[in-house]
Amino acid sequence: MITNPAEARTAWVAHGFDVADAAPEPMDQFAAWLAEVQAAGVFGPRAMLLATADAENRPHARVVMLAGHDRRGPAFATDQRSPKAHDLAAQPWAAAVFLWGEVERQVRFEGPVTRTSKAEADAYFTNRAVGARLATWVGPQSAVVDDRAALEAQLLRTLQEQPSPVPRPPDYVGYRLTPEVVEFWQGRSDRLHDRVRYRRAGGGWLLERLSP
């Protein structure tokens, strides 16, 4: 098993990635790549760049953490009062990118976004560290604050007020991107990169190789 990014990069760049290597289902392929980069020790493997657009079609992008994934698509969680949640209420479609630069791999998703069930949001919340769970109670995400001291004071109040285990705030909700398009990108030498795209076609997936 490859256990460091340098070794993984050398092996994966040399081997590449082709349609013949791809799983029939894109989320199965994503699960395989995610497991590989995690095993190789790549930094921040669950970090996902999420792009949305507001009601005026102005794009916004930020990095969120992958909360879960299955064949339905990748899921994330956020405060429903946040800008990204407002964007998704206005235009429930998003693009997401995982970039594992240390090993020259990238996965892109495009598709509609829907809210997950409360049970799934509970599960995402429970998987967070205790401090991260407390931090979700500090205030509305992206709201203006006076300074760091105000945040820390609110965290202390939260620590005193909330029971143990810390419950999920009512505004902490989950979302899932249901992919219509998924692209896997593997870096190769001389920038002759391998790109394999899945597109929904009827009840299945069409796999295509793209020019770099």
Which pLDDT belongs to residue 87? Answer: 98
Which pLDDT belongs to residue 148? Answer: 92
**At 166, is the pLDDT very low, low, confident or very high (cuts 50, 70, 90)?**
confident
Q: Which pTM was predicted?
A: 0.92
Which one has a higher pLDDT value, 56 or 132?
56
Mean residue pLDDT across the chain? 94
Q: Which two tokens stand for residue 19?
A: 């349609």
Which pLDDT belongs to residue 145? Answer: 84
| Strand, helix or coil for residue 167 | coil
| Strand, helix or coil for residue 117 | coil
Which pLDDT belongs to residue 203? Answer: 87
Question: Per residue in 58-73, pLDDT tens?
Answer: 999 999 999 999 999 9
**At 107, is the pLDDT very low, low, confident or very high (cuts 50, 70, 90)?**
very high
Per residue, the 3-state secondary structure of 168-205, as one string, reads CCCCEEEEEECCCEEEEEECCHHHCCEEEEEEEECCEE
Which pLDDT belongs to residue 154? Answer: 85
- Please pick, among 108, 191, 195, 200, the residue that the annotation labels catalytic: 191
Average pLDDT over residues 15-24: 97
Fold type of domain 5-128+172-210: Pnp Oxidase; Chain A (2.30.110)
- Say if residues 182 and 71 touch (Cβ distance below 8 Å): no
Domain ranges for the chain, please list them: 5-128+172-210
Task: Give yes or no: 209 in active site.
Answer: no
Which pLDDT belongs to residue 82? Answer: 95
Residue 35 has pLDDT above 80, yes or no: yes
Which pLDDT belongs to residue 151? Answer: 85
Query: How far apart are the C-alpha atoms of 141 and 149, rounded to whole Å?
Result: 17
Count helices and strands in the chain by DSSP H and E runs: 6, 10
